[in-house]
Amino acid sequence: DWIHRLANPLYVVPNDAILFSLIAPFSLVIIFRKPLSVTAAVAAISLLLAVVSVVLLKSRGAFLIMIFSFLSVLFNRFRFQRVLLVAIVVVALMVAMDWLTGFGIFDKVVAIQKETRIPLWIAAWQLFLNHPILGYGPHMFVFEYQAYLPTGAGFVIDNRLTPWAHNLYLELLAEQGLLVMAAFVSLLFFNLSYAWKLTMGNTNKSLAGLGVATSLTGFILAAAIELTFIRVWVVLMFFILLAVIHTLSAQHQEISS
């Protein structure tokens, strides 16, 4: 109901809250860069609202990516004992908020046997096997997948029409085949390796590199359980991350030369 009332094209389902989890690393590095500044205060408020939104929208995927974002940034900046304490506090706060709202996220985590994504993944894989080179065409999954759902295999089948496979990699394989998938994976690998190289050192640029490297890693993880290029924000976020990595890499090369 909240998503529908918002009437924002960026948000269609609660799991679109993953966007907040991908932005979170940037908020964290802004706070670490100048902890007592106005921008750090704004970033802290943004981070708090992001955490609250993820819990209230009961997004399991966004919750897991948010935890990963916190741990990834903190482990790169602080010692293990301090990170462990902060991580326990953050997880405890998120669990407490989940408890206050009826354990929506917890129920989703423990009800893994009722996971409706698995039949969609099987259908997407079957579509890929039928047309492995070029696939069925962009955004054609919704028109083809129902014929390949494993209806007699004991899986829980969602009877609602589902326009995406809830797995970006399988979706690309089914819709655009091996050629596009190979290009996409190469693009991810190339930019991810560059992003993590930028984290080396103890400068503002390495801190910015940590933010974008963590965010892109979170994107890669989220792509395995939810993301689709049908979503406007997924396309925007992906190419924004690539642009940030390219800009930081160019600046780093200028300084080095």
pLDDT at 132 (0 to 100): 95
- Region of residue 78 (left: phi > 0; alpha: psi -120 to 50; beta: else): beta
pLDDT tens per residue, range 112-157: 445 688 899 999 999 999 999 999 999 999 999 999 998 876 777 8
Distance CA 218, CA 14 (A): 17
Contact criterion met (CB below 8 Å) for 255 and 203: no
- Whether residue 9 has pLDDT greater than 70: yes
pLDDT tens per residue, range 173-226: 999 999 999 999 999 999 999 998 888 876 767 888 999 999 999 999 999 989
Distance CA 147, CA 18 (A): 30
Distance CA 193, CA 185 (A): 12
pLDDT at 113 (0 to 100): 47
Distance CA 244, CA 23 (A): 13
Distance CA 25, CA 21 (A): 8
Q: Residue 219's closest CA among 246, 196, 192? A: 192
Pick 226 or 108 by higher pLDDT. Answer: 226
- Whether residue 90 has pLDDT greater than 80: no
pLDDT at 98 (0 to 100): 63
Task: Please give the mean pLDDT across all residues of the chain.
Answer: 85
Strand (E) or helix (H) holding 240: helix 232-256
- Whether residue 236 has pLDDT greater than 80: yes
Distance CA 26, CA 213 (A): 10
Q: Residue 43's closest CA among 29, 53, 22, 56? A: 29
- Cα radius of gyration rounded to whole Å, the chain: 20
Low-confidence winner among 45-54, 75-84, 119-128 (lowest mean pLDDT): 75-84
- Whether residue 38 has pLDDT greater than 70: yes
- Whether residue 103 has pLDDT greater than 70: no
Q: What is the mean pLDDT of residues 250-256?
A: 65
pLDDT at 240 (0 to 100): 95
- Whether residue 254 has pLDDT greater than 60: no
Question: pTM of the prediction?
Answer: 0.85
Contact criterion met (CB below 8 Å) for 251 and 187: no
Q: Residue 74's closest CA among 65, 85, 62? A: 85
DSSP labels, 86-117: HHHHHHHHHHHHHHHTTSHHHHHHHTGGG-SH
Distance CA 147, CA 143 (A): 9
